[in-house]
Amino acid sequence: MLETILLAVDGSPHAKRAAELVCPLRTRECLLSRRRSNPFLLGAVIGAVAVQLAILYLPVLQTLFDTQALGPLELALVLVASTAAFVAVELEKWTIRRRSRRSRRSPA
């Protein structure tokens, strides 16, 4: 049904945005095309991590932002927590894609 709606409004400025919202629940090709559509994403992520590390470890910025450097154990804890969150989100997306494929295969 949604594909019919998108085809009906093809050409409108909202059609592309609607397709982007539906895209993560659809196909692998759609997901790959979204990754290629934003070439600056990796640079933005690397830049954000660099700024966060600078605020934590450069003395001038530590004073300005009133921060303290993380010790090895604290840094490991942050890495484990962020990795666990990433894995949980990826598992959820995998589960949604798997259910979507199964529902398309089974005759209604």
Q: Which residues contact 20 (CB under 8 A, 6 or more apart)?
A: 34
**What is the per-residue burial (b if ≥16 Cβ within 10 Å, else e) of 46-84?**
eeeeeeeeeeeeeeeeeeeeeeeeeeeeeeeeeeeeeee
pLDDT of residue 2: 40
Is 22 buried (19+), middle (13-18) or exposed (0-12) by CB count in 10 A?
Answer: middle
- pTM greater than 0.75 (yes/no): no
pLDDT of residue 104: 80
pLDDT of residue 103: 83
Mean pLDDT by 10 residues, the chain (108 residues): 40 53 52 64 91 95 95 93 93 92 74
